[in-house]
Amino acid sequence: MKKVAIVQSNYIPWKGYFDMIAAVDEFILYDDMQYTRRDWRNRNQIKTPQGVQWLTVPVQVKGKYHQKIRETEIEGTEWANIHWKSLVQNYRRAPHFGEIAVWLEPLYLNEPPNYLSQLNRRFIEAICNYLSIQTVISNSWDYTLVDGKTERLAALCAQAGGTEYVSGPAAKDYVDEEVFKERGIELTWFDYSGYTEYQQPWGEFTHGVTVLDLLFNCGKKSPSYMRYVR
């Protein structure tokens, strides 16, 4: 039995993203998909005294359509220092800031990659390493891509040797379950509900911010506030 998930890469994703990684045996970064503006691909949220704030990686968008996520280039390097300063300013007093900063600061200040997919994977792998998530992470272009939304997902899962495909609940609107049944692959829907709140600064608790918020505040106890990370 092998569980596979296929998801587009996000910039410093929220804790649910890492729970899905931990829940499967192989996590395929689906960056052959079209880049979409004002989405989670190149931005995420942090908590501040003024409320939730976006950290956005500037990227070059060369046309309205057909630019893949993995083809998307990052615009300049100044953003990295700005993002790091924002994290320092808003989390330096968090209980585990120093512990996380040891490995996180170099990711920002030591020549970030030129492409968004590379950057996202860099952060995702570093966070997985800290959380001791052992899941294999691969890229969609490591496999042969076929036509059709559901057909492509099922084919990727089959090529990876998957017997179960784990999907986010939002995909219920377009995934054709019969395609997976025809290949003998079980389709299950991931559940993001039921998270326990932790000690979080700056007003009302917010679940959907970057996982860095959890790490800064809880350190190695972070898995206690997640569902599949142990």
The Cα 136–Cα 134 span in angstroms is 6
| Residues 29, 156 contacting (CB under 8 angstroms) | no
- Does a structural domain hold residue 101? yes
Domain encompassing residue 13: 3-225
How many domains, in total, are found in the chain?
A: 1
pLDDT score at 64: 60
| Residues 99, 219 contacting (CB under 8 angstroms) | yes
- Does a structural domain hold residue 230? no
pLDDT score at 25: 98
pLDDT score at 65: 65
The SS3 assignment for 32 reads: coil
pLDDT score at 39: 94
Q: What is the block-wise mean pLDDT of the chain (230 residues), using blocks of 10 residues?
A: 98 98 98 94 97 97 83 96 98 98 97 96 98 98 96 98 97 95 98 96 95 98 96
pLDDT score at 66: 81
The Cα 15–Cα 170 span in angstroms is 17
- Does a structural domain hold residue 34? yes
